[in-house]
Structure 1
């Protein structure tokens, strides 16, 4: 069974008192958190008038680890962006004394508004970052991110986490990248955070990738996170929450895996 690129999904969040695709409320709440935390805001580009935003620590320090968290590459995976908003609401400014944090909160705004997987042009914004891996070409969103490739690579040199969802699954799983033969502490920590909210996927095949103990390990395609690991990020992960489950629970799980990612990196 495959995901439909145009099937629309709708959920309601009691946490935020809004629908999953309410981009105006999302951006307004995001701006409030940016103001509270004094985050640097940069518009990398626009798609159909909607901005692709980058948020960064107020004052980056050369002596701190640099990590990137991204979400919202697929429009029906709405708990990622809302989870980032929830994560930010729990952050104190002291965090930026321990880590250089960069956030890409919503990378497919037109899909987010429609509540469907692909962008408004019928393209997959999470493919085409690594040439020669498959036949995918960068989408309009991908071209915007690649235009800022050096900035993004520097921002993710100590780790990249991107938060996705799977509308076909009832259980959670994790794509992870570590310079080793088997998933290590980094991978285990992130899957552990997700498993506090959902059962872990059984050994199976998902999207042509073997899942073992909840992990799809060191699988390199042309995705955003695979590109950044190939470009030098020390570790990487792509979390997958089960979008058949309660929306607010998925929001909390996404927020939790972001927090666990930050905690793990700053502890190294």
Structure 2
């Protein structure tokens, strides 16, 4: 498998949003429209080159509901995650707030996203360094900001964390999944089924040195954001991987669908 290159530029056009994938100004405009419509509460974690790193949360938390977190945009060339979140948000109504306490992290790496580059503009990987697992990774600027708000993030992801990524090398889909069991259960299988409505499941037996079984890499703890939150107490977690060699709008729809399934599975 070819390695992913940090500074190669990737850009696609979306017919759904009528813009290019790295149009961060258009992304921010539409994000503000959707968050205002849903009356989501902003929580600014920090700023990177003037761009906000922020969470958006339910207007009022309900102690009796599950608390779940959806995040995307850790790697700037994996653009269908953030745009998929916008599509997901556009289909929400305020009834969602009677089902879950929802927290969204739409764009974790704004400087990489705006350039279509995998890493941030400082050459750092925003999805490594959250756990000490022997890989020698240290947190990026974004990671340090997120780790400084660990208490907030741990509460937000108590009942589940979904992070949406893409595989720039693939034409097939797969899933990293975390459950407190020996085999993937309904949570993991439901998320994979949402993805395979759009793309074939990967035939690979190993991806990035991780064994894959029926499209799922199960309970693999690296130093990623989602692994950290699961290790820190989230009941379940997943990282979806859509194939970036496929049509961009189809990838957007797949990301939106896996987010919808994550919400449906978290309160059933």
Per the normalisation by structure 1, the TM-score is 0.99
User: What is the rounded CA distance, in whole Å, between the counterparts of 2:163 and 2:248 in structure 1?
Assistant: 18
The equivalent of 1:220 in structure 2 is: 221
The equivalent of 1:41 in structure 2 is: 42
The equivalent of 1:205 in structure 2 is: 206
Q: How many residues align?
A: 267
User: What is the rounded CA distance, in whole Å, between the counterparts of 2:178 and 2:205 in structure 1?
Assistant: 19
Tell me the C-alpha RMSD between the 2 structures.
Answer: 0.7
Are 1:124 and 2:125 an aligned pair? yes
The equivalent of 1:174 in structure 2 is: 175
Q: Equivalences for 1:55-66 in 2 at 5 Å?
A: 55-66=56-67
**Kept in 2: contact 1:54–1:105 (CA 8 A):** yes
Q: Equivalences for 1:101-180 in 2 at 5 Å?
A: 101-180=102-181
Which deviates more from structure 2 when the two are superposed, residues 130-139 or residues 106-115?
A: 130-139
**Kept in 2: contact 1:70–1:104 (CA 8 A):** yes
The equivalent of 1:255 in structure 2 is: 256
Secondary structure, aligned partner of 2:22:
coil
**Kept in 2: contact 1:203–1:213 (CA 8 A):** no
Show CA shifts across 1:237-267 (max 9, x none): 0000000000000000000000000001111
How far residue 145 of structure 1 moved from its aligned partner, in angstroms, is 0.3
User: What is the rounded CA distance, in whole Å, between the counterparts of 1:158 and 1:181 in structure 2?
Assistant: 19
User: What is the rounded CA distance, in whole Å, between the counterparts of 1:166 and 1:82 in structure 2?
Assistant: 16
The equivalent of 1:68 in structure 2 is: 69
Show CA shifts across 1:86-145 (max 9, x none): 000000001101100000000000000010100001110000001244200011000000
User: What is the rounded CA distance, in whole Å, between the counterparts of 1:241 and 1:22 in structure 2?
Assistant: 20
Are 1:238 and 2:239 an aligned pair? yes
Show CA shifts across 1:188-245 (max 9, x none): 0000000000000014211111111000000000000000000000000000000000
The equivalent of 1:30 in structure 2 is: 31
User: What is the rounded CA distance, in whole Å, between the counterparts of 2:133 and 2:242 in structure 1?
Assistant: 29
**Kept in 1: contact 2:100–2:267 (CA 8 A):** yes
Secondary structure, aligned partner of 1:84:
helix
Secondary structure, aligned partner of 1:24:
helix
Secondary structure, aligned partner of 1:9:
coil
How far residue 147 of structure 1 moved from its aligned partner, in angstroms, is 0.6
Structure 2 regions of 5+ residues with no counterpart?
none
User: What is the rounded CA distance, in whole Å, between the counterparts of 2:77 and 2:261 in structure 1?
Assistant: 24
